[in-house]
Structure formats: structure tokens, C-alpha cells
Amino acid sequence: MVHGVERTTNGNTDTAAVPPPPEAHHRADSSTPYTTKESNTMNATIDPQVLAQFTGTETYYRLGPVLRDALCTDGVHYLMSNGMAWLVTDAMAVVTTRPEHDGFFMIEFTPREDGSGELVIGDGNGTDVHRQVYNSHAYKLGKPLRMFAEFGEVEKPQWIVLLASEH
């Protein structure tokens, strides 16, 4: 499955080509009897110095046909283009299907030393609304990754996922 990340602009109807997103993130690891979200052969190439440079966005990207009411920023697009599309789509699948919300969710992925990790989605006031554990992941940074999902309007009322540094 290939994610349909498509570049969009603030109210502009023009679209531009975007580099193809990772294709291996939903393949099962053949060495295990269970399905994982990514293949062990896929390596995330996230540079912490590059990640720290995202403090705003110039472009919004559509997250594909399934998440048609969601956009992401330049920083989240960087994550998705470098091996973490699975995390963004998992988190946004939860966020966009929540019937009750106040327009804000905090998304945090915490890597563990044993190679597993945990995704926690909260309301920003200390209440967790979703937890998901991953047996393995390709996020090689030693600190948690924090994103926000906000309901706003770019082209229409929709969810926008952004890095905490872009808020």
C-alpha cells in the first residue's frame, strides 16, 4: 500500500508533484508470526538537526483518500518521507474518527530501549484517549516525538497534524 501524500496549498487549486512516500511500511516481517506496521528492512533516516528546523510550514500536504479530511505540515511530511508514514497515519486514523473532540489532540510516540515503542494520543489536558504499542519501529532518535492534531481551516474545516515545534 502506498500512502497518497499530495501537496496542497493554502486555498490554491494548483498541486505539485511530491517525492513518492515509503512503500514498505505495511509489509509484514516474514520472520515473525504476527503482522508488524513496517518491515525491519526499512530504515528511518530522520536527522534530529533537520527535524529541529521545522518551526512553521509553507505547504500543507493531503494525507490521501482514506484521511481525506486531514492535512500535514512540512515537518510531518519530512517524517512521512523518511520512514514514519505508519505513525502519522495510525495517529490520524484515531483522531479523525473521534466523534467528540474540542479540536485538539496531543500525539506522542515514545521509543523504548528494547526496540519497541508506544503511541499515546491525549486531549492535551492529561487524559489519554488512545494507546498503541509497537513491537518494533525504525525511529532511531532516543527521545519522544511529539505532534499535535488541530481542527482548523486551510481549504475547508479539517484536521491538521503538525510537529510540536511547528505549533
Instruction: Give the domain ranges of the chain.
Output: 6-166
CA 110/CA 106 separation, integer angstroms: 13
Q: Which fold has domain 6-166?
A: Nuclear Transport Factor 2; Chain: A, (3.10.450)
Query: 89-145 pLDDT, tens per residue?
Result: 999 999 999 888 899 999 999 999 899 999 999 998 999 999 999 998 878 888 999
Model-wide pTM > 0.85: no
